[in-house]
Amino acid sequence: MPDPMDDLDQRLSRALHAMQDVPPFPREAADRIAARAILASSPQARAGAWTRRLAAAVVLMAAGAAVVTAARRTAVVQRSELAMAGARAVGGAPVLPAAGAPLLPVSAGGARPIIFELDAPDARSVQVLGDFNHWSRDATAMERSADGRWRITTLLPPGRYIYAYLVDGHRFERDPARDAVEDRDFGVTGSELVVGEAP
């Protein structure tokens, strides 16, 4: 007659083996969790109220500069749109993406060209992450220009997007020229970008 304790031990062993099994975890979900963690542990997220107070003061002091920056940013987008339409930008060469320049992989249905640009001359790497690429680390590397600005061109369909820059792989920065908004789907805070319908 079999020993019931042996049977119990075998069943317990099998149960523990079963408890050790885990399925693989989806990479996209891992990217989202990692992005939240990186964003939440960034100095900006931790500085809390002090940062917000300080930022308010800085914003007041730098209001003039911000206006200039925003104007330049708008000009870049407009030049890009003109370039993609085959026209020449006002006062300069077409801003067509250079051959081999990285393009974010997004749907091109009715999309408009958008240039993301960040002035970070001391950065070693800059990526742009947003809901348009599921805050993924893939295909988001920006290229450094000689003037120290980091750029990437992408096609985005009309809509509202939230994005942030990842500098040197660990520091999230919102676009200083745009309002901070929360991406509820991904639980992160970034900057808002609205892409309108083509004229």
Partner 1 sequence: MPLSRPHVTVSRPPRTSAPADVLALRARDGDPGAFSALVELMQPRATRFALQMTGAARDDVDDIVQDAWIRTHRALPRYDASRSFESWFFTILANCCRSLRVRLRRLQLRAQPMDDQLRDESIDALMATTTRSDVARVFRALATLPAAQRETFLLHHVEGFSYEEIAVISGVGVSACKMRAKRAMDAVRELLREDDPDA
Strand, coil or helix: what is 168?
coil
72's tokens: 């330049």
- x/- binding map, residues 60-99, to partner 1, per CB under 8 A? ----------------------------------------
Sequence-ordered list of residues with C-beta below 8 angstroms from that of 128, at least 6 positions apart, any chain = 104, 116, 118, 140, 142, 152, 163, 164, 165, 166
**Among the residue ranges 2-10, 65-73, 82-90, 173-181, the one whose residues contact partner 1 (CB under 8 A):** 2-10
29 binds partner 1 (CB under 8 A): yes
133 binds partner 1 (CB under 8 A): no
Strand, coil or helix: what is 113?
strand
Determine which residue in the list 1, 2, 5, 197 makes contact with partner 1, applying CB under 8 A: 5
Determine which residue in the list 1, 2, 18, 57 makes contact with partner 1, applying CB under 8 A: 18
Using CB under 8 A as the binding criterion, the count of chain residues that bind partner 1 stands at 40
Q: How far is the CB of 160 from partner 1 (least distance, A)?
A: 25
22 binds partner 1 (CB under 8 A): yes
58's tokens: 């800085």
At 173, the amino acid letter reads: E
Q: How far is the CB of 100 from partner 1 (least distance, A)?
A: 21
137 binds partner 1 (CB under 8 A): yes
Determine which residue in the list 19, 49, 63, 194 makes contact with partner 1, applying CB under 8 A: 19
185 binds partner 1 (CB under 8 A): no
Of how many residues is the chain composed? 199
Instruction: Return the axis-axis angle of helices 63-84 and 43-61, rounded to nearest 10°.
Output: 100
Q: How far is the CB of 23 from partner 1 (least distance, A)?
A: 6
Measured over the CA atoms of residue 105, residue 108, residue 109 and residue 112, the dihedral's sign is positive
DSSP labels for 65-95? HHHHHHHHHHHHHHHHHHHHTT---TTS---
Which parts of this chain interact with partner 1 (CB under 8 A)? Answer: 4-5, 8-9, 11-27, 29-31, 33-38, 40-41, 46, 124, 127, 137, 166, 168-170
